[in-house]
Copies of this chain bind each other. A is one copy, B any other.
Amino acid sequence: MDKKQLIIDATVKVFSEKGVENTKISDIVKEAGIAQGTFYLYFPSKFSVMPEIAKLVVSMIIEEVDKNVNLTSNFQDQLEQLISAVFTLTDKKSKLFTLLYAGLSQSEHLKQWEDIYAPFYKWMFEFLERAKQNGDIREDINSARTAKLMIAIIESTAEQLYLYDESVDEEIELQFKELLSFVNNALN
């Protein structure tokens, strides 16, 4: 198998398990089953693997929403499917998301993050544009700016519920409903 991919996979695993700062290069190479020096043939530092991981996460998000949001459903249902998809993925990959968000706020390479995140913004932009054309949401909405707001509130809420709160299922369900109602009203 490709050594570079081997390193990326191993890094995702150990980063998820112990966090970025507590991970040593030696942990990664041990997990990857390669020699210490080999790592440096592909990456100059553990931090430089992060963009690869971010791309992975974003592609997972896109895949999840594409799979779950049924464009033939009515808008109400699509909104619910969208939020549900993000929640599900956040739950399933909580450690991975945690380190991504941590990486986002820390990093000096903010511009890079934006580029990597761009596909999700684009997805949301098109989602809103479609809705606008179908008359499902307010006319005065700016799809680009509202896309940011939508992503912000959905991800932040998912983050709160799954990463911080260790919430019980019932509370998650209620917060989910409140968010859906909030967003629904916001868009109309």
User: Is A105 in contact with B110, judged by CB distance below 8 angstroms?
Assistant: no
Are the CB atoms of A183 and B181 closer together than 8 Å?
no
Q: Which of A25-33, A35-43, A151-159 contacts B (4 or more CB under 8 A)?
A: A151-159
Cβ–Cβ < 8 Å partners of A142 in chain B: 174, 178
> What B residues does A165 contact at CB under 8 A?
110, 114
User: Is A120's CB within 8 Å of the partner chain B?
Assistant: no
B-chain residues with CB within 8 Å of residue A141 when the two chains form the complex? 178
A interface, how many residues as a size bin?
A: 35 or more
Find residues 163-179 in chain A having any chain B CB closer than 8 Å to their own CB.
163-166, 174-175, 178-179
Interface residue A140 (Cβ < 8 Å from any Cβ of B)? yes
Are the CB atoms of B186 and A105 closer together than 8 Å?
A: no
This protein's copies in its complex: 4
Cross-chain contact A114 with B164 (CB below 8 angstroms) = yes
Q: For A149, what are the chain B residues with a Cβ–Cβ distance below 8 Å?
A: 153, 157, 178-179, 182
A contact set with B: CB distance below 8 Å: 19, 21, 98-99, 101-102, 104-106, 110, 113-114, 138, 140-142, 145-146, 148-149, 152-153, 155-157, 159-160, 163-166, 174-175, 178-179, 181-183, 185-188
**Are A175 and B102 touching (Cβ within 8 A)?**
no
Contact of A175 with B145 in the complex, beta carbons under 8 Å = yes
Give the residue name and chain of the B residue nearest to A98 (CB): B105
Q: Give A148 to B141 CA distance when docked, in angstroms.
A: 23
A-B contact pairs, 22 of them (CB 8 A): A19-B106, A98-B105, A98-B106, A101-B101, A102-B105, A102-B106, A104-B164, A105-B159, A110-B165, A142-B174, A142-B178, A145-B175, A148-B160, A149-B153, A149-B157, A149-B178, A149-B179, A149-B182, A156-B156, A183-B186, A185-B185, A185-B187
